[in-house]
Amino acid sequence: MRRIGFASLFAFVLVGSTLPAEADAACVDECGLTYWACSDNCGAFGGALCEQNCTDAYNACVNQCSQCPTYRNYSTEQYINKTEKPAKCIKNRQINDATGYFYREFTTHYLRYNWRETTQCNGTKSTQLLSTVPFDGLCYLKATPVQTCLNFTTVDSLLACP
């Protein structure tokens, strides 16, 4: 085998090796360097099995190159504040009590950050902010002092306020 030094040509030097269409050139270069280090360790009497093991390792490495960079999208949320609304008479279905209670109701304000983490073939990671989306929710606190009420709305659950 002759060393050519160009990632795009390297695959044609190794018998039976093919370069995936989407392979990262820098990654393929690293695979080539690893191949030559492996091959050099085979020595003059390493034999065909040693060389085949290096070629197999190269092919597996190049196959991994076609799978990167990889992306992972995720979101984080940040609580901003809450705005109080008028108190409501509510009965929580999860509590075995036939009585309604006054709850302070709040509109909660949040920001959702949508991120993309990119992992390059060499393992380095970078994170990019894709968007920031405001959104609201509701939360409740039992009024103090505790007050019962009769004309209640029944709910399945009450989200506690942050």
Residue 88 CA from chain centroid, whole number: 40
pLDDT number for residue 11: 40
Do 135 and 110 contact (CB within 8 A), yes or no?
A: yes
Q: Are both 79 and 146 inside the same structural domain?
A: yes
Rounded to whole angstroms, the Cα distance separating 144 from 148 reads: 11
User: What percent of the chain has a predicted confidence (pLDDT) above 90?
Assistant: 32
Q: Are both 82 and 119 inside the same structural domain?
A: yes
Q: Are both 83 and 50 inside the same structural domain?
A: no
- Mean pLDDT across the chain: 81
pLDDT, tens digit (0-9, with 9 covering 90-100), for 92-142: 877 777 788 999 999 999 999 999 999 887 788 999 999 999 999 999 998
Residue 162 belongs to a domain: no
Q: Are both 46 and 79 inside the same structural domain?
A: no
Q: Given 65, 85, 111, which residue is the final one in a domain?
A: 65
What sign does the CA torsion over 145, 149, 153, 155 have? positive
pLDDT number for residue 19: 46
| Structural domain boundaries, residue 79 | 70-155
Helix H or strand E segment including 150: none
pLDDT number for residue 23: 63
Residue 161 belongs to a domain: no
Residue 2 belongs to a domain: no
When divided into structural domains, the chain yields a total of: 2
Answering whether pTM is above 0.85, one says no
Strands 153-155 and 70-84: unpaired
